């Protein structure tokens, strides 16, 4: 079984960073038709805080994706389980993600949205694990770059648990988890 470990990023650090990102987004998208798209489920907490730090008359929508094959090297694929309700054509889309890991989800989302003729598509992720990247993910806004460690809390899960923790914690894996990657 995995256990929640020490705090990696505190509530205070997160909220300061969210305010900073919100201010930048507010400046960059002034006068533009902004559609913020939260990627379910992991981004729901970050998105809720981030939209309240943006001082523009934005629109909001959700896209639900699940990625499979994380436990194998060969068969990574992304499945959309909830598509957007809002039209994208002519709008400036800002994708809001919890964490960019391999970059596969982000790459898939960019291609999914590009064919719907948006005015622009940019990416905002709270966390970035640059050492894990397998495909290029053009990150326009990010909160924190972290090392290759599994983290939970503030929306992020391990096997659907810990999303409700207010801070971001390291997940402690025991030897069995390490061998089977169970719990992540």
Give the residue numbers annotated as catalytic, written as ranges: 101
Among 14, 94, 105, 123, binds ligand IMP (CB under 6 A): 105
Residue closest to Mg ion (Cβ): 157
DSSP bridge pairs for 96: 38, 124
Separation between Cα atoms, residue 58 and residue 33, nearest integer Å? 7
Quote the DSSP letter at residue 56. Answer: S
Instruction: Reply yes or no: is the peptide bond before residue 88 cis, omega within 30 of 0.
Output: no
Report 142-171 residues binding ligand IMP (CB under 6 A). Answer: 150-152, 156
Closest to ligand IMP by CB, 29 or 39: 39
Q: Tell which one of 5, 26, 28, 102 touches ligand IMP (CB under 6 A).
A: 102
DSSP secondary structure of 99-114? EESSSHHHHHHHHHHH
Q: Does 26 bind ligand IMP (CB under 6 A)?
A: no
Pairwise CA distance, residues 26 & 68, whole Å: 34
Stretch that binds Mg ion, among 25-33, 87-95, 102-110, 150-158 (CB under 5 A): 150-158
Residues in contact with ligand IMP by the rule CB under 6 A: 42, 67, 97-106, 150-152, 156
């Amino acid at each position: 079984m995995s256990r929640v470990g020490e705090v990696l990023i505190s509530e205070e650090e997160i909220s300061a960073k969210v305010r900073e990102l919100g201010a930048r987004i507010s400046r960059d998208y002034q006068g533009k038709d902004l559609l913020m798209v939260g990627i379910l489920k992991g981004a729901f907490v970050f998105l809720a805080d981030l939209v309240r730090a943006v001082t523009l008359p934005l629109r909001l929508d959700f896209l639900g994706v699940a990625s499979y094959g994380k436990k194998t090297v060969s068969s990574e694929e992304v499945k959309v389980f909830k598509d957007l309700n809002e039209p994208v054509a002519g709008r400036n889309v800002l994708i809001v993600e919890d964490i960019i890991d391999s970059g596969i989800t982000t790459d898939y989302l960019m291609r999914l949205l590009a064919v719907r003729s948006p005015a622009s598509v940019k990416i905002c992720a709270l966390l970035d694990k640059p050492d894990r990247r397998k495909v290029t993910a053009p990150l326009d806004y990010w909160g924190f770059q972290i090392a290759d460690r599994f983290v939970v809390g503030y929306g992020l899960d391990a096997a659907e648990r810990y999303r409700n923790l207010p801070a971001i914690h390291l997940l402690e894996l025991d030897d069995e988890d390490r061998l089977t990657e169970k719990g992540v």
